[in-house]
């Protein structure tokens, strides 16, 4: 796996736009503004065909710990779920979104 980090906005601008739109709809303060500066640290290695999930912070050794919450977004297709710890997006669960998976697979 590559040690390089990527700015999410650079590799998946469409995903950033979608996340911002969905967060605005959920009216979750403080997260929308962070989307454009999210970095991709690692991709999920669960091996599921549908999975294109990414870590947007260093992968935790065990769990995300205290202050962790899942925010399920109302995506038009597939599934987008954010793992947020203390108002910081740490992991983006992306399922059944082949257009994003194509890009994630290459990193
Ligand atoms: Zn996965």
Mean per-residue pLDDT over the chain, rounded: 93
DSSP letter at 50 equals T
Q: Which residues contact 14 (CB under 8 A, 6 or more apart)?
A: 99, 100
What is the percentage of the chain residues whose pLDDT exceeds 90? Answer: 86
Distance (angstroms) between ligand 1 centre and the Cα of 94 equals: 8
Q: What is the pLDDT of residue 1?
A: 46
Distance (angstroms) between ligand 1 centre and the Cα of 75 equals: 18
Q: Which residues contact 67 (CB under 8 A, 6 or more apart)?
A: 85, 86
Distance (angstroms) between ligand 1 centre and the Cα of 46 equals: 4
Region 45-56 average pLDDT: 96
pTM of the predicted protein model: 0.94
Strand (E) or helix (H) holding 105? helix 98-105
Region 61-83 average pLDDT: 94
Distance (angstroms) between ligand 1 centre and the Cα of 44 equals: 4
Query: Helix, strand, coil shares of the chain as percentages rounded to 5?
Result: 30, 30, 40
Q: How confident is the model at residue 34 (pLDDT cuts 50, 70, 90)?
A: very high
């Amino acid at each position: 796996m590559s040690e390089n980090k990527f700015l999410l906005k650079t590799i998946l601008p469409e995903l950033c736009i979608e996340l911002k739109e969905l967060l605005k709809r959920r009216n979750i303060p403080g997260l929308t503004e962070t989307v454009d500066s999210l970095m991709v640290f690692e991709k999920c290695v669960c091996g599921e065909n549908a999975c294109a999930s990414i870590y947007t912070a260093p992968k935790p050794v065990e769990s995300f710990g205290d202050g962790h919450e899942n925010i399920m977004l109302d995506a038009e297709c597939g599934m987008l779920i954010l793992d947020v710890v203390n108002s910081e997006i740490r992991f983006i669960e992306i399922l059944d979104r082949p257009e994003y998976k194509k890009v994630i697979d290459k990193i």
